Structures are given as structure tokens and as C-alpha cells.
Copies of this chain bind each other. A is one copy, B any other.
């Protein structure tokens, strides 16, 4: 006989029942303590984990509605926008991307999509599933989007109503010039959809100043919240296009006119879906922390730790995959040296050092590692720990490097 539901006040009533005969009983799961220096999720602060585990309240509770309002205000701050339609989609970044496309694209539209990594390809999928045409602007993986090519694409496709691009390509660690690209869209009478999944909170992002129209991000990168939530913001021009749609948004769950009724405005909230209450506690706390630090300070911290990591890696003889101007401080792509086995290095870092770094993705699989220094994980302790572990693992694979060179160079850079 198995004791049933140990935590329930009803224990006594049910202890006499015999639990269903199960072939396998599953135990509780206790994760190891990893240091997350991959492409996300990044290390989550104990403050955020603490907020996450607080008691659940109802999603229509007046106190929860207050929390929702605060989250909107905090997101406006980190997006640097006054957009009223600024909120967290109740699903991961992929759903945030889809929310931007299904609300702004109608069947028959032409959308210019820039691809210089994995996520441009995903944007193309989104456009085509909206029964629209994607005009692809291709750049090499690891290079930024070339604004000249985008101008050419608009010349060849004057009816294009949208430009979509990735601000910070997670698959390659490359920044593109979002300000210029948004301006090109506006000059051509088009709206812009900007993927800021990896940029938000890590590098400068000025939604209003740059005139970006639909912007989505993720909770698990430089916000250092748990994964599962996608902050989005829509400009008044984007809202106008949504309101003037003649074709219903194909997703009920992501229809911003319905979501607005739940998240929005002064009037009574209309039930749409049940918000992920505890995830929003966590998002709120991560945004409060970012507000406490200040955006500019956070950017400088990311920059400083990035420079230390790069100094260390280069002192170890490793080469960065992206040119300095376009490197993301929060996601560092490193070329894997000749003769080094990608998978066994990552596996040894994980198993022997509890350190996660990322593999290359798509065209860069097996050719790069991606070392994240995102949000809470962007700190000097992680820089030093990573260099130290990498040195040990590479040495174990016969890679020749002077002992301690990486750490010394990083410390010198930090002291500079």
C-alpha cells in the first residue's frame, strides 16, 4: 500500500486506498546547479527564482492586475518606448515572433525578410504560413544584415509592406544595425518587425527613437528570467494596421485585439486566456532588478565582461567568429580550433564543470561555440570560471596553450 498525497489535508481519508498499480513510479526531479553560459536560458538570479516560487493567486485578482500594469511599465522602460501595446506574450519567444507576423501580415502581402542566421529562416516560415510572399535578403552567417541589399530589395519590391530582421542573431552572435534598417523600412512606407530576443537588456535598443514597429523578445536571455515568456511591443502605426485588418488574425491565442482586451487599458479586463501567473512574478522581479541597475549600467556590465572574455580567449589562442564591430557582448561566437572535438569539449564542460556553453547552430554547427554572458550570468566570476574550465578541457584534448594565460589576460582587461 502506498501512502497517498502526502501533502494533502485529506491524507487520512485516502491512506487506506491502494494506489493504482503502476509499472514505474517516477521520483521528484532535482536539477544539478549549472552555470548557464550558452545562448539561453541564462543563469537566473535567486531573487527571480524566489519570486517564481511565491504562492499563486488568481489571474483576475485585483492585485494581479496591478502586477500586470507594473510589468507593462517596466517593459516600456527596457524597450525604451511609450507604446501602449507593450506586454508579455504568455509563451516563448517563438510565439512572440509569430504574434508579430500573424497580426501584421495578411494573405497576399509581400514581406522583405533578412536572413543572416537561423532566425531569419524562421521568419520566412512565418510569412509563408500567413499566405504571404517572403522576399529574402541573404547575408553570410556571422555577418550583419547589409542595409544596401535591403534598399535594393525595396526597389525591386515597392509593394513590400513589411521588413523583418533580427537585431541580435542568437545563432551567430552578430548584431545588425537596427536603427538604419528601421529607417529604410519607414522610407519605403513599410513597417518593421524586429527580433530582439537576444538584445533586450544586453545592448542598446531604442524602440521609439529607432521607429521599430513590432518588436519581440524572450525572457530567458539578457533579462535572466526563466524561459517561457515573450515581451512584445507594437508602435501606434502597427496598432493601426492591426485595427484596419480585413482578414481575421489566423491565431486566436495570439490575436492582439483579443490580448489587448485582457492586458489593456482602463476598462474592465476581458478574460482571454489564463496568464502564467508565477512566470509573471518572475518576469516582474527580473525587470525590477534591471530597473534598479539601470539600463546603461547593464549595457556597460555586458560590454566589460565581454571584453574580458575575449581578451582571455584570444590569449588562449582562440579566434572570435564575428568582427569586433558586430560582436554581441552577450553572446560570443568562438571558432573551434582544428583537431578539437566540439561535442566532447561541451560535454566535458557540462559534466566535469557544470558549465553549459552553446554549440554552433545551422551552418555553424561544429564550427563555433557560443559563450553567453547574458543578464545575471554576465559577471566576472563566470568569465574567469569559463576560461579556467575551457583551458583545462582543451589541454586534456592536447591543445597547446600557456597555463593561466586566458585568466591573466581577462584580469588585466578587467583592471584596465
Contact = CB atoms under 8 A, between A and B. Distances in A.
Interface of A: 2-10, 13-14, 17-20, 22, 24-34, 36, 38, 40-41, 43-47, 49-59, 61-64, 67, 70, 73-74, 77, 90-95, 98, 122, 125-126, 128-130, 218, 220, 226-228, 248-253, 271-279, 281-282, 284-285, 287-289, 291-298, 300-301, 304-305, 350, 356, 361, 376, 378-381, 414
16 contacts: A5-B301, A14-B300, A19-B297, A22-B291, A26-B288, A27-B288, A29-B51, A31-B64, A34-B57, A41-B58, A49-B54, A56-B227, A129-B252, A227-B274, A227-B276, A228-B278
A13 B304 contact: yes
Nearest to A377: B8
Given A93-B274, A227-B275, A253-B94, A285 B28 contact: yes
A41 B251 contact: no
Given A29-B284, A31-B57, 18 more contacts: A2-B294, A5-B292, A5-B298, A5-B301, A7-B376, A13-B304, A13-B414, A31-B281, A40-B274, A41-B56, A49-B53, A49-B54, A62-B350, A90-B92, A90-B95, A129-B249, A226-B276, A228-B279
B125 A252 contact: yes
B5 A289 contact: yes
B29 A67 contact: yes
B49 A33 contact: no
A56 B77 contact: no
A18 to B, nearest CB: 8
B55 A31 contact: yes
Nearest to A125: B252
Contact of A94 (B22, B51, B249, B273): B273
Contacts of A70: 26, 29
Contact of A29 (B273, B276, B281, B304): B281
Given A289-B7, A297-B19, A278 B52 contact: yes
